Chain A
Amino acid sequence: MFNKDEKFKKFKEAETIIGSSIKVKGNFHGKGDIVIEGSLEGSLKTEANVFIGEKAKIGASIEADEALIIGEINGNIKVKKYLAIGKTAKITGDIQCGEISIERGASITGQIIVSAENAKKIEIKKNKEEEL
């Protein structure tokens, strides 16, 4: 399902990639797309998109514009626009996003707030900024 998602094809060119054998601790802040296949403890924040791979183990809060999650996360997730959760995902924490899709088999323990309104507001604001 998500492999065919055009939105996430560009992850191959992500600004930051953390491989499956790597452990990262601390506050990981970036502007570009981030791919995590390994483990991360702390916080993860980007103005762009995040991909959490199947073998990834995340003990961190995540903030991003859009995200695709197919790994394990212990922490809250805040995504401005579209959040895609795959069947292998295991999430313990609260989720807040503009739009969501959850594949059958995914495990989520926590509160989910989906506010399309929020996503639209951001979109309108962005369009206005582009016009200026």
Chain B
Amino acid sequence: MNTYIYDDFLNKGRYRRALNKVEIRLTDLGLNGKIIRLGSIKNVKEVIQTEIKNGVKTIVAVGNNATANKVISAMITNKAYDFFQKDVLFSIIPIGDNNSIATSFGIKKEEEACNILLARRIKQIDIGIAGNNIFLNKVEILSEQAEVKINEDYILEINKKTPAKIINLNDDTKLSLGKRIDPYDNKLNLIIEKKINDTTFITGDDFKISGQGKLLLDESIEVLLPAEVGLIKEKINIIVGKDRSFI
């Protein structure tokens, strides 16, 4: 059984056509399931937890990166995750802007997402955390001047001229070292790509960032500095397409 979580912004008329196409395609493929609209819900976590307890097999975020973030946060932030949630699958049907998570899953268009759901190609990946918020793709450090302490060992000085990203799952095909980013390895990668011949690539699991400014998680959530970035012990099972950004 599938549950589809529709984000608030999909209530706008301009998304009606895309949603209609998705619903028709899902029905054609025999994948239709329960629809939950976030706009009418106060406690997202409770609703998603109830779905999981009732035996849902796949939870699909319909929307963008922010939708994915809300849904995954609700799925994993529960002590019982290890017992009955670890088999629940997650996927995205991308609609609207800011869909880098879907892109890295190999899902580019909404109708393609339906076919990918049917194929059920499953991968289990790491989940990042920055402050109290989770992320799947990356954390961008937006600061005039900041220091990043890595694994309690050494400090990197960065500024606005050296824009840094901490990446779990790469969504940028132009990144020269992008192929080396592994979302299975229990590690994050800090990348600063200033010019082709001036790239910094560091692997770690604990990044403490101090200074003025903020972090931008998955192009959708802001966290003020100082903040700590790492991985949580849980992983998430995702349904991906052939054109995903990782092996």
The docked-state distance in angstroms from the alpha carbon of A20 to that of B149 is 19
The docked-state distance in angstroms from the alpha carbon of A17 to that of B154 is 14
Residue contact B162 to A15, C-beta cutoff 8 Å: no
Residue from B156, B180, B203 in contact with A22 in the complex, judged by beta carbons closer than 8 Å: B156
A7 interfacial contact with B, CB 8 Å = no
The chain B residue sitting closest to A13, CB to CB, is: B180
Residue contact A29 to B153, C-beta cutoff 8 Å: yes
B200 interfacial contact with A, CB 8 Å = yes
The docked-state distance in angstroms from the alpha carbon of A19 to that of B200 is 5
B157 interfacial contact with A, CB 8 Å = yes
B247 interfacial contact with A, CB 8 Å = no
The docked-state distance in angstroms from the alpha carbon of A18 to that of B157 is 11
The docked-state distance in angstroms from the alpha carbon of A24 to that of B197 is 18
The docked-state distance in angstroms from the alpha carbon of A21 to that of B177 is 17
Interface size on A, residues (CB 8 A): 20
Contacts A22-B192, A37-B198, A42-B154 supplied; 6 other A-B pairs, CB < 8 Å: A13-B180, A16-B201, A16-B202, A19-B198, A21-B162, A24-B156
Size category of the B interface is 20 to 34
Residue contact A19 to B155, C-beta cutoff 8 Å: no
B161 interfacial contact with A, CB 8 Å = yes
Residue contact A15 to B194, C-beta cutoff 8 Å: no
For the complex, would chain A's binding face be called helix, strand, loop or mixed by DSSP majority?
strand
The chain B residue sitting closest to A32, CB to CB, is: B203
The docked-state distance in angstroms from the alpha carbon of A108 to that of B161 is 34
Known: A16-B201, A37-B198. A21 touches B161 (CB 8 A): yes
Q: Using CB atoms and an 8 Å cutoff, list the residues of chain A in contact with chain B.
A: 13-29, 37-38, 42
- Residues on A with C-beta less than 8 A from B180 are 13
Q: Which 3 A-B pairs have the closest CB atoms?
A: A26-B154, A19-B200, A17-B201
For the complex, would chain B's binding face be called helix, strand, loop or mixed by DSSP majority?
strand
Residue contact A23 to B156, C-beta cutoff 8 Å: yes
Residue contact A22 to B162, C-beta cutoff 8 Å: yes
Residue contact A23 to B199, C-beta cutoff 8 Å: no
Residue contact B202 to A26, C-beta cutoff 8 Å: no
The docked-state distance in angstroms from the alpha carbon of A23 to that of B162 is 11
Residue from A17, A26, A27 in contact with B199 in the complex, judged by beta carbons closer than 8 Å: A17
Known: A15-B203, A16-B203, A19-B192. A24 touches B154 (CB 8 A): yes
The chain A residue sitting closest to B197, CB to CB, is: A20
Within 8 A of A (CB), among B147-172: 149, 153-158, 161-162
CB distance from A77 to the nearest CB of B (A): 19
CB distance from B81 to the nearest CB of A (A): 31
Residue from A22, A26, A38 in contact with B153 in the complex, judged by beta carbons closer than 8 Å: A26
Selected A-B contacts with CB under 8 Å, 7 pairs = A16-B203, A17-B199, A17-B200, A21-B161, A24-B156, A27-B154, A29-B153
Residue from A15, A21, A25, A42 in contact with B198 in the complex, judged by beta carbons closer than 8 Å: A21
Within 8 A of A (CB), among B22-74: none
- Residues on A with C-beta less than 8 A from B201 are 14, 16-17
- Residues on A with C-beta less than 8 A from B177 are 17
CB distance from B21 to the nearest CB of A (A): 44
The docked-state distance in angstroms from the alpha carbon of A42 to that of B155 is 10
- Residues on B with C-beta less than 8 A from A26 are 149, 153-155
- Residues on A with C-beta less than 8 A from B154 are 24-28, 42
CB distance from A116 to the nearest CB of B (A): 33
- Residues on B with C-beta less than 8 A from A19 are 192, 194, 198-200
The docked-state distance in angstroms from the alpha carbon of A25 to that of B197 is 22
